[in-house]
Amino acid sequence: MLKEFRSFLMRGSVLDLAVAVVIGGAFGAIVTSFVKDILMPPIGLLLGNVDFTNLFINLSGTGYTTLAAAQEAGAATLNYGVFINTLINFVIVAFAIFMVLKAVERTKNQEAPAAPAEPTTKECPYCITQISLKATRCPNCTSQL
C-alpha cells in the first residue's frame, strides 16, 4: 500500500499541481505587496491622500480614526477599502494568468506543425494535367484511367 501511495504521489500531474500551488501562493504574495505597497499609495495620493486600507464604515456608532483602532476596540465595520485592494489584487493576478496562458498557447501552436492536407487531385498519366482523385476519365484528354 505504501508503494502504491508513493507511485500516486510521483505521478506527473500531482507533482505539477503541487508546484503550481506553491508558485501560485508566492505569486499571490508578490501581487498583494505590489498592490498594497506600490500601486495603491500613488492612487491614494491622486485621490487626495486617501489611504484605502482605512476606508471603512463603522457600524457600532462610535467614532474611530483608523480601521486598526476600530478593530482593536472590537467595533463592527464594513472594510470596503480592504475589499478594493483585494479586488485590484484579483484583477492583476487574473491578467497575469491570462498572459501566461496566452504565451503557452502561442508556443503550443508554434511547436505542432500542421499535418499536410490529404491530396484531392492526381496527375493524369497521359496528358499530365491535374484531375480529381475520384475521376475515372480525364476531362482534358478523355483517357480511361
Closest-CA residue to 49 (of 40, 57, 58): 40
CATH of 2-113, one of 1.10.150.80, 3.30.565.10, 3.40.50.740, 1.10.1200.120: 1.10.1200.120
Summarize pLDDT for 44-96 with one digit per residue, the tens: 788 787 777 788 888 888 888 888 888 888 888 888 888 988 888 888 888 88
Query: How far apart are alpha carbons 68 and 134 in whole angstroms?
Result: 81
Average pLDDT, the chain: 82
Share of the chain above pLDDT 90, in %: 0
For the chain, the domains span: 2-113, 116-145
- Give the side-chain half-sphere CA count within 13 A for 36: 11
Supply the pLDDT for residue 44.
Answer: 79
Residues 34-46 have a mean pLDDT of: 81
Residues 83-111 have a mean pLDDT of: 82
Cell 482523385 locates to 133
Longest distance between any two alpha carbons in the chain, whole Å: 101
Confidence of residue 113 (pLDDT cuts 50, 70, 90): low
Supply the pLDDT for residue 9.
Answer: 66
Confidence of residue 12 (pLDDT cuts 50, 70, 90): low
Closest-CA residue to 104 (of 18, 15, 20): 20
